[in-house]
Amino acid sequence: MPRFTVHIRDEWLAVPCRDITNTIRWLGQEALKRYMKNKPDNGGIPAGKDTRFSMRRCQGLGLLDADDTVEDVLEDNDFVELAIEGDTMSPDFIPCEPGYLSLDGNSLTANDLVNLGRGLYKIKLTGEAERKVVQSRELLDTIVKENKVVYGITTGFGKFARTVITVNKLKELQENLVRSHSAGVGNPLSPERTRMLLALRINVLAKGYSGISLETLHAMIQAFNASCLSFVPEKGTVGASGDLAPLAHLALGLMGEGKMWSPKSGWADAKYVLEAHGLKPISLKPKEGIALINGTQMITSLGAEAVERAQAIARQADIIAALTLEVLKGTTKAFDSDIHSLRPHPGQIEVAQRFRSLLDSDHHPSEIAESHRFCDRVQDAYTMRCCPQVHGITIDTINFVHNIINTEINSATDNPMVFAERGETISGGNFHGEYPAKALDFLAIAVHELASISERRIERLCNPSLSELPAFLVNEGGLNSGFMIAHCTAASLVSENKVLCHPSSVDSLSTSAATEDHVSMGGWAARKALRVIEHVEQILAIELLAACQGIEFLRPLRTTTPLEKVYELVRSVVKPWIKDRFMSPDIEAVHRLLIDQKVWNVAKPYIDKYQTEYIPESRPGSPTAFSLESPASPRKRVRHE
């Protein structure tokens, strides 16, 4: 009898189908019945009502017509996604109209910024932020009115800091600054990254230390909320005085010059894009040009995306490595908490605990682990045994970088600074990008190590002398090449990363006639960190594919419940390899699972439950230690109430 696997929220349900002339609507209704039956409150779905839903084929995401018959559009054991209309419990649910995020210049996080980039929120200012902006601008207007000589307000810039500009030329001074500094090259930032850049610049200006007018800041917010996004080339910043070229391009579009993009207009001349949304170009007042382009916002916004993606892939790397260890019939003794309490780095302890949460044979019985429980192997290769030590320092580095980026997000990086309460402006160097540049170089180096160790595990999976599995994880080797070249792809990406991990922040070139004689090169640090992280995601996608393929050769034995759930998730988008086929789509499909954090979301409930409901029995001298493989006597479990 044919059966189909239907994904509803976070659960996979097998639905048998005796009559394949039934419709897709019938299949969805049957799956919903089974889902609600296992929930004490029907999962929050009203019983007896006609619940509206849509269904998609998991592979390729093709939308299924509810009136089509099962036999016409599905094959036996196909995987289908069911989305309940308006369901806020779905991880993919996005409200039709974004809510608002209030910016005050002090409380934005990297996660908030990434969500702003995705278009999940619009922006508004807090009342306190508006008050500070007005107060700061009033001081600047006084300076101009009294003809005081202040850098960047009534003087030129950089080498021209001693050149005083007449009052009737101050508007032209600011406009010329933006135009001349719009000298970037290369491809434009994506709409998501440009949204992040614009949102972050608004947040920094909202602190009230830049002298921007409230009128101009509101115009920037209106452009953000309408998704009117300037053409910002990705190359051209040296990271001090901040990201001058990218931020100048950002301001240029707001002035109605250059190119802009919006969902409504696509790429077009900026003035027409603004006009199509009922917006007017900004007209720069004294100091506003330099206020718009001085700062570390490109380094930091790209850094926010990098550190968020790094955190996501680091967590999922633990899950993938645990699955590989199971397939290679490794021992779990290396994750005993007694070992890690003797070297108590936070990341190392966290990773070891995560491995225990996934592999504890008492809590999650594993037929694969049981099949080799009494083998004579004492210890495994470093790539399995040392995961807590290698993955752990990556996690600690990510946490360090997160703190740097979150601080930078809410920092005033303009020059000169306007201190309304002191009644003066002060020139300084907060625009220097060394903090985020150094941090992002560290991030690239640390996250790359997840790929380096993963590639070695892929080798162990593919090499029959190391895995006891068929060569390259395929039957009829020779006729079929299996994962041979997928491993080569992983190796090539690791090699690329080794070059990309050379720190850019150790370089400096003097610019602006030796006025800016030490720079951070932070823009390149941010861009290459993102490239390194993407490679890491792709390499781990290959390892996850290989580990799931390895399980096929161990069947009918099953692994632990959380790892079986991960296997089922992968099989919802990629079928087992029976013979050679086009592999790139498989890698991309699993890469997408990792980007969307679906591997983490599937395993997390089991990890959380294990870590919050159960604590190990204590042994003398080690209050938190226990062994995963101690079959002699059951451990006492203590439930946290």
Q: What is the CATH number of the domain that holds 67?
A: 3.10.20.90
- Indicate if 60 and 180 belong to the same structural domain: no
- Indicate if 494 and 588 belong to the same structural domain: yes
- Measured CA to CA, the distance from residue 322 to residue 313 in angstroms comes to 14
Q: Could you give the number of structural domains in the chain? A: 3
- Measured CA to CA, the distance from residue 212 to residue 474 in angstroms comes to 63
Q: Which region among 229-238, 443-452, 503-512 has the lowest average model confidence (pLDDT)?
A: 503-512
- What's this model's pTM, rounded to 2 decimal places? 0.81
How high is the pLDDT of residue 640?
A: 30
386: three-class secondary structure by DSSP: coil
- Measured CA to CA, the distance from residue 609 to residue 347 in angstroms comes to 20
How high is the pLDDT of residue 485?
A: 96
Contact between residue 559 and residue 326 where contact means Cβ atoms under 8 Å apart: yes
Distance of alpha carbon 201 from the chain centroid: 20
- Measured CA to CA, the distance from residue 160 to residue 512 in angstroms comes to 10
How distant, in Å, are the alpha carbons of 188, 378, 463, 467, 553 from that of 483?
A: 36, 29, 10, 14, 14
How high is the pLDDT of residue 48?
A: 55
Distance of alpha carbon 286 from the chain centroid: 38
Say if 598 falls within a structural domain.
yes
How high is the pLDDT of residue 95?
A: 40
How high is the pLDDT of residue 247?
A: 97
- Residue 289 sits in which domain range? 100-294
- Indicate if 434 and 582 belong to the same structural domain: yes
Contact between residue 508 and residue 518 where contact means Cβ atoms under 8 Å apart: yes
Taking residues 575-595, report their average pLDDT: 94
**Cα R_g (the chain), whole angstroms:** 28
- Indicate if 282 and 313 belong to the same structural domain: no
- Indicate if 341 and 448 belong to the same structural domain: yes
Q: Which region among 93-107, 256-270, 438-452, 550-564 has the lowest average model confidence (pLDDT)?
A: 93-107
Look at residue 417 and tell me whether its pLDDT is greater than 70: yes
Which of 294, 328, 345 is the last residue before a domain boundary?
Answer: 294
Look at residue 458 and tell me whether its pLDDT is greater than 90: yes
- Indicate if 231 and 328 belong to the same structural domain: no
Say if 541 falls within a structural domain.
yes
Which structure tokens are listed for 149?
């000589």
Which of 228, 259, 294 is the last residue before a domain boundary?
Answer: 294
Residues forming a β-bridge with 79: 5
- Indicate if 455 and 539 belong to the same structural domain: yes
- Measured CA to CA, the distance from residue 45 to residue 34 in angstroms comes to 12
How high is the pLDDT of residue 18?
A: 85
180: three-class secondary structure by DSSP: helix
Q: Which of 349, 447, 347, 343 is nearest to 392 (CA)?
A: 347
- Indicate if 122 and 232 belong to the same structural domain: yes
Backbone angles phi, psi at 398, to 5 degrees: -60, -45
pLDDT band, very low/low/confident/very high, at 616 (cuts 50, 70, 90): low
pLDDT tens-digit map of 283-342: 999 999 999 999 999 999 999 999 999 999 999 999 999 999 999 999 999 999 999 999
Say if 343 falls within a structural domain.
yes
Q: What would you measure as the largest C-alpha separation in the chain, in angstroms?
A: 89
Say if 591 falls within a structural domain.
yes
Backbone angles phi, psi at 259, to 5 degrees: -105, 155
- Measured CA to CA, the distance from residue 491 to residue 456 in angstroms comes to 9
Percent of the chain with pLDDT over 70: 91
Domain with residue 253: its CATH number is: 1.10.275.10
How high is the pLDDT of residue 94?
A: 38
Mean confidence (pLDDT) of the chain: 88
Which structure tokens are listed for 537?
């995601």
- Can you list the positions of beta strands (E) in 131-239? 185-188, 229-230, 233-235
Order of strands, sheet of 259-262, starting from the edge strand that comes earlier in the sequence: 229-230, 259-262, 266-269
How high is the pLDDT of residue 602?
A: 96
How high is the pLDDT of residue 20?
A: 85
How high is the pLDDT of residue 92?
A: 44
Say if 266 falls within a structural domain.
yes
How high is the pLDDT of residue 620?
A: 40
- Measured CA to CA, the distance from residue 414 to residue 291 in angstroms comes to 6
Look at residue 78 and tell me whether its pLDDT is greater than 90: no
Look at residue 80 and tell me whether its pLDDT is greater than 60: yes
Residues forming a β-bridge with 235: 185
> Exposed e or buried b for every residue in 39-57, given b needs 16+ CB within 10 A?
eeeebebeeeeebebebbb
Say if 35 falls within a structural domain.
yes
pLDDT band, very low/low/confident/very high, at 152 (cuts 50, 70, 90): confident
- Indicate if 143 and 105 belong to the same structural domain: yes
- Measured CA to CA, the distance from residue 320 to residue 316 in angstroms comes to 6
Taking residues 536-563, report their average pLDDT: 97
Which of 84, 119, 134 is the last residue before a domain boundary?
Answer: 84
pLDDT band, very low/low/confident/very high, at 638 (cuts 50, 70, 90): very low
Identify the sign of the CA torsion 374, 377, 378, 384: negative
Say if 628 falls within a structural domain.
no
Say if 629 falls within a structural domain.
no
- Indicate if 151 and 221 belong to the same structural domain: yes
pLDDT band, very low/low/confident/very high, at 360 (cuts 50, 70, 90): confident
How high is the pLDDT of residue 363?
A: 81
Q: Which amino acid is at 476?
A: E
Which structure tokens are listed for 167?
């009052």
- Measured CA to CA, the distance from residue 202 to residue 117 in angstroms comes to 13
- Indicate if 185 and 317 belong to the same structural domain: no
> Exposed e or buried b for every residue in 351-388, given b needs 16+ CB within 10 A?
bbbbbbbbbbbebbebebbeeeeeeeeeebeebbbebb
The residues, ordered by sequence, that sit 6+ positions from 211 with a Cβ below 8 Å of its Cβ are 136, 137, 139, 140, 153, 287, 288, 291, 418, 425
Give first-to-last CA distance, the chain, whole Å: 45
Domain with residue 587: its CATH number is: 1.20.200.10
Look at residue 627 and tell me whether its pLDDT is greater than 70: no
- Indicate if 201 and 224 belong to the same structural domain: yes
User: Around Cβ 535, how many Cβ atoms within 10 Å?
Assistant: 21
Contact between residue 210 and residue 414 where contact means Cβ atoms under 8 Å apart: yes
Specify the residue for token string 């003809």.
147
Taking residues 136-165, report their average pLDDT: 82
Which structure tokens are listed for 508?
């400096």
How high is the pLDDT of residue 40?
A: 64
pLDDT band, very low/low/confident/very high, at 617 (cuts 50, 70, 90): very low
pLDDT band, very low/low/confident/very high, at 154 (cuts 50, 70, 90): confident
82: three-class secondary structure by DSSP: strand
| Residue positions annotated with a catalytic role | 151
Taking residues 375-380, report their average pLDDT: 78
Contact between residue 537 and residue 451 where contact means Cβ atoms under 8 Å apart: no
